[in-house]
Amino acid sequence: MTEDTVYLDHAASTPMYPEAVAAMTEQLTRIGNPSSLHASGRAARRVVEESRETIARALGCRPGEVVFTSGGTESDNLALKGLFWARRAQDPRRTRILTSSVEHHAVLDPLHWLAEHEGADVELLPVDALGRLDVAALRDSLERDPGGVALVSLMWANNEVGTVQPVGEAVALAHAHGVPVHTDAVQAVGQVPVDFAASGVDALTLTAHKVGGPYGVGALVVRRDLDVTPQLHGGGQERDIRSGTIDTPAIAGFARAVELAVARQAEHAVRVRALRDELVARLQEQVPDAQLNGDPDTDLDHRLPGNAHLTFPGCEGDSLLMLLDARGIACSTGSACSAGVPQPSHVLLAMGRDAEQARSSLRFSLGHTSTEADVEALVGAIAPVVERARAAGVAAGFGTSKKAG
């Protein structure tokens, strides 16, 4: 990101806090494997354990429940595969995995792999037009065969449209049948209140680069009494759940970022939500038929504060993105992990949009460095960009007859 870039893609990755950079940089010049017993190793281990305690305080969990990983994707894979294998080993009937149809691909793809290679019966539960889980469908699915359910996985908040999911209701239903619940909270930490113990979930995924920390480090918070089959075998680090040499500098930066993001969450939400509401209102003034996707209720129980996901009828989302990028404005067509893939968003399709509407959408996500000037720049650019994209769409046969719903 250059200094003159209008960066509106914080949901993909947000800039590091200066304090997190300092915490990480301080450790980069020091030597010592945290698994070594000499003085340098013990010093590194102290940094790791103090970082673990810092993250635990911020998330409302015990330090021993924090398992460090390389990021959100590994944490999701570890939770889903590890819980599935452990639960099936305890009872071979447990082959069912219940999840929502709007999960991130870091959840959906390992579940599809388990279905193809391990005999898992993966059930994608429906959502409503706002992208929120159909709780009745979850209840019915659990009651149909509770003894066969290995786990439930439900994201805390959707990465594309920002809808906050009813995690508490899902936990209550699942736990009534003795079924553990995993949540991908990558988008939620630092944006809305997240308390591991209070939520009742059994495993929670987070990653550093979404909260102002470095790339390549994250964590799976998992209850100590929950069996998780490891995927990496070696030195037995991280409770023997995740072997591998621990990245002390990255963990130091991660912990400082989590600490700051959680401490500043309430103030951050108020400021960013106001900017987001202004952005949406002014974009719709410039493009009157633009439609907001996700929950229109901006309360933090319903929607992430920095998320603005809009459909621009008659425009290819990729065309809009590139035209804005040429003007120095960075945004997204949805999940950054599927950027460049010419297919409609699975999230919008699950919400009942048609393929054309799903391909006509952009996500603008604000973060801790967002300013009023960023909003002004986007508002000033959007009308001519949409006009140009619509002209290109007509020339390419991309219809304009359907309206976003």
3-state secondary structure of 288: coil
Domain with CATH 3.40.640.10 in the chain: 18-263
* pLDDT for residue 341: 52
User: Is the pLDDT score of 40 beyond 90?
Assistant: yes
Residue 403: pLDDT band with limits 50, 70, 90:
very low
* pLDDT for residue 402: 43
The answer for residues whose C-beta is within 8 angstroms of residue 299's C-beta and 6 or more apart is none
169 token code pair: 């209701």
Residue 3: pLDDT band with limits 50, 70, 90:
low
Q: Half-sphere exposure of residue 355, counting CA atoms within 13 Å on the CB side?
A: 4
Over the chain, what is the mean pLDDT?
A: 94
Q: Half-sphere exposure of residue 181, counting CA atoms within 13 Å on the CB side?
A: 26
User: Is the pLDDT score of 376 beyond 90?
Assistant: yes
* pLDDT for residue 249: 98
User: Is the pLDDT score of 27 beyond 80?
Assistant: yes
* pLDDT for residue 404: 37
pLDDT in tens, 147-177: 999 999 999 999 999 999 999 999 999 999 9
pLDDT in tens, 308-343: 999 999 999 999 999 999 999 999 986 444 455 557
Domain with CATH 3.90.1150.10 in the chain: 6-14+266-395
Q: Of the candidates 366, 244, 391, 234, which has an alpha carbon nearest to the alpha carbon of residue 316?
A: 391
Average pLDDT, integer, range 229-249: 94
Looking at 1.10.10.10, 3.40.640.10, 3.40.50.720, 3.20.20.30, the CATH number of the domain 18-263 comes to 3.40.640.10
| Residue 52 near residue 66 (C-beta atoms within 8 A) | yes
User: Is the pLDDT score of 100 beyond 50?
Assistant: yes
By annotation, the residues acting in catalysis are 337
What is the number of other CB atoms lying within 10 angstroms of the CB of residue 399?
Answer: 10
pLDDT in tens, 44-76: 999 999 999 999 999 999 999 999 999 999 999
As beta bridge partners, residue 365 has 9, 307
If you classify domain 6-14+266-395 with CATH, what class do you get? alpha beta
Residue 401: pLDDT band with limits 50, 70, 90:
very low
User: Is the pLDDT score of 305 beyond 50?
Assistant: yes
